[in-house]
Structure 1
Amino acid sequence: MTNWRAVLIGFLVATVLGLFGLVLPGVGQLAAGLIGGFVAGYLAGGGLGRGFWHGLLAGALGGIIGGLFIAVFVGLAGWVAGPAGGMLTGVAGIGIFAVAVLVAFVMALESAIAGAVGGVLNPDRPDYSRRGPY
């Protein structure tokens, strides 16, 4: 059973650290994703698989929200630019979608690995989740 509280806290940690990480482009966001995934995995507990799952969800949520913000920005830019702008942003939207999927995958993967480490460091499984492996 997924501990959505752990996922949300891990996502929020990654988001806040990612905003401060803008000072160090690339490295700051990488560290934010790792720390957020670790927090999600540690809070969920339960070992390697459970930590991996919760870190994966926290990182994927960050990638999805980031892609959504980019899509809204591009959509508004096309709306302001009129019909020609709409056509250009529609074509650009395909490339933006591909980049957003790639970013979400990378964020989810790094967070999942860190979540697995967090889950191993906190092997205690909460009572409500003893029904299944995750």
Structure 2
Amino acid sequence: MTDWSAVVWGFVAGIVAGIAAFLVPVVGHVGAGLIAGFVAGYLAGGTLGSGAWHGLLAGALGGVVLVVLTAPIASLLGGALGGPIGGVFSGLSVIVVGLVIAFVFALDSAVGGMIGAILAD
């Protein structure tokens, strides 16, 4: 069973850590995903699989929110610069790239979730 409270708290921790990650660009964003997963896995507890699942959801939620916020902006800018077809292609490309990024965020968050679940028990 998914503990959505743990997922949301992991997501919030990931957003806060992601904002702070701009100080250390590459390591910071990987660390933000680990922190998001750790918080979700720690709060959910249970087995390694449970921690990985909750961490994965927290990381993926962060990526999906990023896509939802940036795709309309890219579509509007693409439409202004490249006409209607430019708007469609720029919006779709942001969605595809964003979903790939969400998957990558989810992977390191799953590792953090496993670590959190180990330490919770």
Same fold flag (TM > 0.5):
yes
Supply the distance in 2 between the matched residues of 1:12 and 1:46 (Cα, whole angstroms): 21
- In structure 1, stretches of 5+ residues that fail to align are 124-134
Aligned to 1:67: 67
Is the deviation greater in 85-94 or in 99-108? 85-94
Partner of 2:3: 3
Q: TM-score, normalized by length of structure 1?
A: 0.83
Aligned length: 121
Higher Rg of the two aligned structures = 1
Question: Corresponding residue for 1:51?
Answer: 51
Assess if the C-alpha contact under 8 Å between 2:71 and 2:92 holds in 1.
Answer: no
Q: For 1:76 and 1:91, locate their aligned partners in 2 and report how far apart those are by CA, in whole Å.
A: 11
Once residues 99 and 43 of structure 2 are traced to their aligned partners in structure 1, the CA distance between those partners, rounded to angstroms, is 27
Query: Structure 1 residue 30 and structure 2 residue 30: aligned?
Result: yes
Identity %: 47
> Aligned partners of 1:8 and 1:94: how far apart in 2?
27
Q: Shift of the alpha carbon at 1:73?
A: 1.1
State the TM-score, normalizing by the size of structure 2: 0.91
1:131 equivalent in structure 2: none
Runs of 4+ in 1 over 6 A off after TM superposition: none
Counterpart pick for 1:103 among 101, 104, 107: 101
**Which residue, 101, 113, 116 being the options, matches 1:115?**
113
Range 48-57 or range 18-27, more displaced: 18-27
Secondary structure of the residue that 2:59 maps to in structure 1?
helix
For residues 18 and 83 of structure 2, the distance between their equivalents in structure 1, rounded to whole angstroms, comes to 31
Whether contact under 8 Å (1:37, 1:55) holds in the other structure is yes
The CA deviation at 1:91 is 1.7
What SS is found at the alignment partner of 2:25? coil
- Greater helix share, 1 or 2? 2
